[in-house]
Amino acid sequence: DLPRELHSWRQMADYSPEMRQFACLLHLYHIKAYDYLRKILPLPHPYSLTKQAAAGFSSDIFLQLQEKVERGDQAYRHCAVLVQDVSLQKQQEWDPQTKRLTGFVDLGAGTLDADEAPLASEAIILMAVGISSPWTAPLGNFLVNSTSGHFLAQLLRQAISKLNSIGIVVLVVTSGASARGAETARALGIRINARRIRCTFQHPPGSAHSIAYFFDVCHALLLVRNALQCFQKVEWLGDTMWWQHVVELAALREQRALELCSPESGRAGSKGSYHLKVNLATLLFSEGVAEALEHLQKLGLASFQNCSGTVKFVRLMSSLCDVFYSRSLYGKEPLLAGNYTKISSLFEEAKSCFVNLKDSLGRYIIKSKRKLGFLCFLLNAESLKWLSSNYTFPEDTPSHHLHTHAFSLDPLEQFLRVLQQACGSSGSPTCAVFQAAYHKLLASCSLAPGSPHSSANASPWHVSLWQRRALTLGSIRFQCHPAPGRTLAPEYPYSAGLLLPSSALSNALTDLSLYAQSLTCTAGWLAEQLALDLQCEACLASLFETDESRLRCSSVLYIKKLGGLSLPSASVHHITSISEQVLNQYSKVGGATKNTKLWYLPLEQKVFQELLGESPLFPTLTNHLFEGELSINNHYTVLVKEITRSYLNVRTNPAQHLNLKYPCGRHKLKRLKGKHLFPSPLGSCQSS
């Protein structure tokens, strides 16, 4: 199909689809071979191969980046390049606009119009991420049938060359911690061996410029978790880590504390008991889990004796995660350009541990088939040490911090989450749907730091931890003890006095003490429902009234209960109280049809207006408010929105949310024993 005459290869406009396919494939698979053939055949310049295609590199993005660099913006002079694949449905479709079949392999030169053209099963996406400033830029997508590490390595080199040509220096490349990722690293020249690690490669090959290689930390943590779960017991240098300690912690059922709480200042004579409850949103490898194990050991629980080795290992992994997941000045501490000494001792401790890890039979894990996760951490440690000691910030750089969060795949996975939502389905999209969604996002892409294009449409409820859900204590509990669907606890129907639709007359005749009691019951039930979905440890702890004097970490909570109901925190109670007041006022005014989106929006806005100027909510989240990339997406704002929306939904649709079988008037309000002693949470946020 390719012409032999040299004059047929002269101008790009004369290139047939077959010629463009041949040139693009040859350049992607072997750059040196392409450069050699350019001396014989007038092949097109590599830059012009994909600039006119739907797939391939996005020329508009590169032009925007070039403009930033030419204006002298130092934040765009250095970046990391991330690579990730997306599964596609192998399906051909007819495009009525182009009058062509779609769904085939496309590497940037268009699809080959022939019966032999293979259907695409994957999309490879490349993204550039700022190192000293949180900007992101999707560089391109490539539709492939199957791929290898060598192909991804050539694709990465081509992306690096294109970035270098517009004045951007690539310092880091990140891929997933998988067999394909390891093959990609080796194809680039990375050596992954515990005794001899080479963490950088040269680009162009043979030049003096080196680029560090990272594996995604979240993927590596999953591999480490799988290894520990497989071996159950690992030993190193006199210490022993037992996986069963983690399983027992995740499976620990709610237990009543021995001491009774003294009466609150709200109502004389009220008593409530504190119950020990595990925060299932806690990450497995976190300081919270280490403190929880130590606390349960001090309580004398038999399942947690001799867990010092487990605590030591979990604490080591937590420290590594703190280094590799620094986000901003408000989150975990960013890595300063010159603090090599600070991280070096931690990495030496980790290397000593990983290299000497043995299973119960005395075999070294670093030489086993479960070694990749540990090798990924060793390579990342060497890469970060090299970067910290060799990379210096220009004097006019706005932020002299290395945001190691940029070395993970989190920015790209957030973009993919928005892309999946734009595709309109939870499964694998077809090529046509994927391309339409990708170019729609690309059209609204902004390269400004903190731009919402990668996360604005993603649910902020999971803005920081949604991709790490498999690493929580909740996931471990579900593996060991799969739970049935959600059910309403039998104690909760006595809150139906408030939740069931009621008339103005019935409201006037309702006992005010029962009304306040019902409001608190509803807020407590709401907190427990939100806790089932919440993936942030600190935010989940802020939903309940807890005894902070017992334990300051939020992985083990002492939640106050009365009559089997978890009492909500003062902030949750205050938000639900304001929501109820607004609902009572607004429901008397005619307007839009109830239970529609237009009816709920004014209610939510009115609640937010009432909350403005009040005492600050969630005082325990002071250092946690700015972990979202946008002010509208930080955890404080998300909590207020979710509590308000959930309460309004439950309040106006009780039968739908509580599965109530009886209409209004048939449910009897269950009373607690004794007087009307159900205390409403008191504190700085108490409503009048």
Structure confidence by residue, pLDDT tens digits, 374-431: 999 999 999 998 888 787 655 555 455 667 788 889 889 888 888 888 888 778 898 8
- Please name the residue ranges forming H helices in 194-259: 217-231, 243-251
Rounded to 5°, the CA angle 69-73-78 comes to: 70
Q: What's the mean pLDDT when you consider all of the chain?
A: 75
pLDDT recorded at residue 524: 85
Nearest to 649 by CA among 569, 576, 571, 542: 576
The answer to whether residues 635 and 539 touch, using CB atoms and an 8 Å cutoff, is yes
Judge whether residue 687 has pLDDT over 80.
no
Nearest to 479 by CA among 284, 296, 287, 234: 284
Nearest to 331 by CA among 631, 625, 635: 625
Nearest to 203 by CA among 136, 155, 147, 131: 155
Return the structure tokens found at 35: 């450069």
| Span 628-644, average pLDDT | 70
- Most confident range, picked from 229-243, 537-551, 560-574, 596-610: 229-243
Q: How confident is the model at residue 4 (pLDDT cuts 50, 70, 90)?
A: low
Residue 487, amino acid: T
Lowest mean pLDDT among 196-205, 263-272, 423-432, 468-477: 263-272
Judge whether residue 141 has pLDDT over 70.
yes
pLDDT recorded at residue 124: 94
pLDDT recorded at residue 111: 61
| Other residues' Cβ atoms within 10 Å of the Cβ of residue 153 | 22
Lowest mean pLDDT among 132-141, 178-187, 218-227, 624-633: 624-633
Angle between helices 340-356 and 372-390 in degrees, nearest 10: 160
Q: How confident is the model at residue 38 (pLDDT cuts 50, 70, 90)?
A: confident
In 103-232, the DSSP E strands lie at 122-130, 136-144, 169-175, 200-202, 210-215
Q: How far is Cα 416 from Cα 396, in angstroms, rounded to an integer? A: 33
Q: DSSP code of 168?
A: P
More confident residue, 8 or 554: 554
Lowest mean pLDDT among 18-27, 55-64, 266-275, 582-591: 266-275
DSSP states of 407-443? GSSHHHHHHHHHHHHHHT-SSPPPHHHHHHHHHHHHH
Judge whether residue 535 has pLDDT over 80.
no
pLDDT recorded at residue 667: 37
Residues found in the chain: 688
More confident residue, 420 or 224: 224
Judge whether residue 51 has pLDDT over 80.
no
pLDDT recorded at residue 28: 62
Q: How confident is the model at residue 454 (pLDDT cuts 50, 70, 90)?
A: very low
Torsion of CA 172, 178, 180, 184, to 10 degrees: 20
Judge whether residue 271 has pLDDT over 60.
no
pLDDT recorded at residue 681: 32
Q: What sign does the CA torsion over 301, 303, 304, 308 have?
A: positive
pLDDT recorded at residue 624: 61
| Span 356-373, average pLDDT | 94
Judge whether residue 520 has pLDDT over 70.
yes
Q: How confident is the model at residue 651 (pLDDT cuts 50, 70, 90)?
A: confident
Q: How far is Cα 215 from Cα 407, in angstroms, rounded to an integer? A: 8
DSSP states of 342-371? HHHHHHHHHHHHHHH-B-TTS-BGGGSTT-
Give the pLDDT confidence of 85-127 residue by residue, as tens digits: 999 988 888 878 777 788 888 877 656 656 667 888 999 999 9
Q: How far is Cα 23 from Cα 158, in angstroms, rounded to an integer? A: 14
Cis peptide before 204 (omega within 30 of 0): yes
pLDDT recorded at residue 490: 41
More confident residue, 162 or 13: 162
Give the pLDDT confidence of 287-311 residue by residue, as tens digits: 889 999 998 998 888 889 899 999 9
Q: How confident is the model at residue 460 (pLDDT cuts 50, 70, 90)?
A: very low
| Span 216-233, average pLDDT | 94
More confident residue, 380 or 257: 380
Q: How confident is the model at residue 65 (pLDDT cuts 50, 70, 90)?
A: very high
Lowest mean pLDDT among 121-135, 221-235, 413-427, 493-507: 493-507
Rounded to 5°, the CA angle 654-659-662 comes to: 80
